[in-house]
Structure 1
Amino acid sequence: MLRISFLLVCLFTLSLSAQNNAIGAGEKLTYTASYNMSGILTDLAQVTMQTSAVKTSKTTLLRLKCTATTYSKWDSFFKIRDLYESYVNPKTLTPYLYNRDINEGTYYKNMKYTFSHKTKTVKTIQKKRKYEEKKTVSIGSGTKDIISTLYSLRTFDMTNLSKGTSKVFTILFDREEVKGKVTYLGKETISTAIGNKACYKLSVGAVDSNTVNGTLWFTADENKIPVYGKFKIPVGNGELKIKSATGLRN
């Protein structure tokens, strides 16, 4: 069974440096996740993305939270309760803390990152059901976690991109830096649950592998929210479709 975490990596990641003018606290995006089962595209889970302000003793961070939950009728078949969250600088979306808590069927895993960008290191704590392991890993200057990378894509100006423009990105996933590539495919208007939307269309995939391919549509406005995604893997294909969007910054 494909892990929701791997799907998120392949559909929603790009490392770009830009100021954040698209995302504020209080935003909530809700999606339906579908998977092709026996030739029929079936709605299996709800994916929710939320932002909130978190005050610390020294500053205010932006919390980026993503959850994936199977609909109750599928829980007896394969129950998913996944959480991803990143605490970032509100202006640059540079991550400071990251938490990934995976509950999928009988599989459980928790991973925590504490970033030190000055030393280009990350302190990690991995927990499974019967053990805990601590390890410090080195990273490159542009490496981020999954969630902060996902949101960083929305800060990039895509208005003047030419078709075929590509960008390589790096994320830290399971303590290893993973490289992927995104290619701009142009603009397209599509019908969604929140209306007809002019969108930027992107293809996403791993640099060193063809095992996962995805296409993603972002609204061609100041919010640049992802409204639709398609993915294909060796064992099948699926979709992510937006259901609702509230609390948008622009």
Structure 2
Amino acid sequence: MNNKLLFIILFLSSFGIYSQNFCTPKEIPFISGEEIIYDVSYHMANTWVPAGKVRFMVKDSTFKNINCFYIEGKGKTYKNYDWFFKVRDKYASFVSKESLKPTHFVRRVREGNFSLNYDYSFDYKNKKAVVIEKKNDVDSKETINISSCAYDLMTSVYFARAIDFNKYKIGDTIAIDIVLDKKVYEGVNIIYNGKEIIKTQHNKKINCINFKIDLIEGTIFKGDEKMSVFVTDDENKVPIYIEAEILVGSIKVFVNSIKNTKTKLKFLN
């Protein structure tokens, strides 16, 4: 049941294929200091159960003397849910401020009796990524080939926020490559699904963009399923609400709190 945090948070055209220009966003929809906290609910036995929280944050940082964003996502189940399935996950990326491409990515997964530790170093000039797996105090290293449009789990979330959906019509798809473990999943589709007003769990209404994302087979999610994501229809494109079917039941993710967005959110009430 690995990869839970990614696709909970993850969210986060007629271009069947993409171009180098498309892979470099024109506008960055977030700033250093942004912090978003989500509540996660799990549907089980006809009942929605509060299961945990996910926290995303962005700050200025450096990696190997390069100025960058440090983007971190942490997810954990509530203590009273740990008996069923305990989760303590962390994803963190050092990301170019211009291209949103990762320089280094860290993945730490603790889910039930399962644990996973990966470190990734990206070399876009040579289209390579070095993946180090830490297991039982032994490190294994592998070099994989990547495209110029390949992203790790964390940066793929923030890249999706940078897409200008006003350029697309309903049903259009945008394809990106996602590096997961020691494999590159090519052509993961983001499908534009229109606009809708969403009410938050604090009863605030806001205009949103809806898109769906292909879910990678072999995770806790069903094959050939899609996750539905709603982001604010503004410069921030903050994910407000997410829903997805999983192997057993389904999940809903609601925004709880938002701090330090690029521009002020415009609620309708």
In the superposition, the TM-score normalised over structure 1's length comes to 0.92
Q: Secondary structure at the match of 1:159?
A: helix
Unaligned runs of 5+ in 1: none
Tell me the distance in 1 between the aligned counterparts of 2:7 and 2:63. 32
> Counterparts of 2:231 and 2:52 in 1: how far apart (Å)?
21
Q: Which residue of 1 aligns with 2:112?
A: 105
CA contact (8 A) 1:32 1:243 kept: yes
Residue 230 of structure 2 is aligned to residue 217 of structure 1: yes
**Mean alpha-carbon deviation: is it higher for 48-57 or for 197-206?**
48-57
Letter in 2 for 1:237: S
For this pair of structures, how many residues does the alignment match? Answer: 249
Q: Which residue of 1 aligns with 2:4?
A: 4
Residue in 1 that maps onto 2:259: 246
- Indicate yes or no: 2:159 matched with 1:146: no
State the Cα distance separating 1:16 from its structure 2 match.
4.2
1:82 lines up with 2:89 in the alignment? yes
State how far apart, in whole Å, the 1-side matches of 2:47 and 2:224 are: 21
Cα distance in 1 for partners of 2:72, 2:46 equals 32
Shift of 1:95: 0.6
Q: Is the 8 A contact 1:10 1:213 kept in 2?
A: no
Residues 195-222 of structure 1 show CA distances to partners (whole Å, capped at 9, x for unaligned) of: 2110001111148884432111010010
Distance 1:57 1:175, change over 3 A: closer
Distance, in Å, in 1 between the alignment partners of 2:100 and 2:151 is: 9
What is the one-letter code of the residue matched to 2:59? S
Deviation at 1:10, TM superposition (A): 6.5
- 1:105/1:129 CA distance change after superposition, 3 Å: farther
* Aligned counterpart for 1:236 among listed residues 246, 249, 252: 249
- The one-letter code sitting in structure 1 at the alignment partner of 2:233 is A
Amino acid at match of 1:45: G
Q: Could you tell me the TM-score, scaled by structure 2's length?
A: 0.85
CA distance in 2, matches of 1:178, 1:240: 24
Matches within 5 A, 1:145-184: 145-179=152-186, 180-184=188-192
Note if contact 1:167-1:183 (Cα within 8 Å) is conserved in structure 2. Answer: yes
What RMSD, in angstroms, separates the aligned Cα atoms of the two structures?
Answer: 2.2
Query: Counterparts of 1:247 and 1:10 in 2: how far apart (Å)?
Result: 20
Alpha-carbon distance in structure 2 between the residues aligned to 1:22 and 1:162: 21
Tell me the CA shift for residue 156 of structure 1: 1.7
Distance 1:240 1:172 in 2: 24
Change (3 A) 1:23 1:9: closer
CA deviations over 1:6-65 (Å, ceiling 9, x no partner): 5248642x9843134311110000001111122212110100000011135633110110
Residue 69 of structure 2 aligns with which residue?
62
Q: Does 1:40 align with 2:53?
A: no
Q: What runs of 5+ residues in structure 2 fail to find an aligned partner?
A: 13-17, 264-269
- 2:84 is paired with a residue whose SS is helix
Give the superposition deviation at 1:136. Answer: 1.0
